[in-house]
Structures are given as C-alpha cells and as structure tokens.
C-alpha cells in the first residue's frame, strides 16, 4: 500500500479511506454561483478593506440567511 501511495503522490491514510469508501464526494463547482456572489463580495471588501476572507465570509453568510 505504501508503494502505491508513493507512486500516486498521496498520503497512505487518504488512499486507504478512499478505497474503503469513507470519503465524501465533492460537490460540483458552479461558476454561475460565483458570478452571483462576486458583486456582494466586492462591496464588502471595499467597505471593510482590513477584513480578511474569514470575516468577509461570515458577513456574507449572515446576509444570505
């Protein structure tokens, strides 16, 4: 198993979890959703230039509730 993980360039525990089906599938990426959020994000960042991504995300999530 170590050799396979080394060849694939992944961590061995991740490979074992993947083979046993313990990982959750990723959600699909939709670029259209980004286009809807970008104007809001730009507005927040311009209003609060010292805020980082975590604070901006928290504010955005509160607004979307």
Find the helix packing angle between 53-64 and 31-47, rounded to 10°.
110
Q: What is the pLDDT of residue 53?
A: 94
Q: Which residues of 8-22 are buried (b: 16+ CB within 10 A; e: fewer)?
A: eeeeeeebeeeeeee
Q: Over the stretch 28-64, which tens digit does the pLDDT of each residue have?
A: 888 888 888 999 999 999 999 999 999 999 999 999 9
Q: CA dist 35 to 1, 8, 15, 50, Å? A: 43, 35, 35, 23
Q: What is the pTM of this model?
A: 0.55
Q: What is the rounded CA–CA span in Å between residue 57 and residue 45?
A: 10
């Amino acid at each position: 198993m170590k050799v396979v993980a080394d060849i694939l360039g992944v961590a061995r525990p991740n490979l074992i979890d993947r083979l046993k089906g313990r990982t959750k599938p990723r959600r699909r990426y939709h670029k259209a959703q980004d286009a809807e959020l970008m104007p809001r994000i730009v507005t927040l960042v311009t209003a609060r230039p010292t805020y980082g991504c975590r604070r901006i995300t928290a504010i955005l999530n509160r607004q979307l509730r």
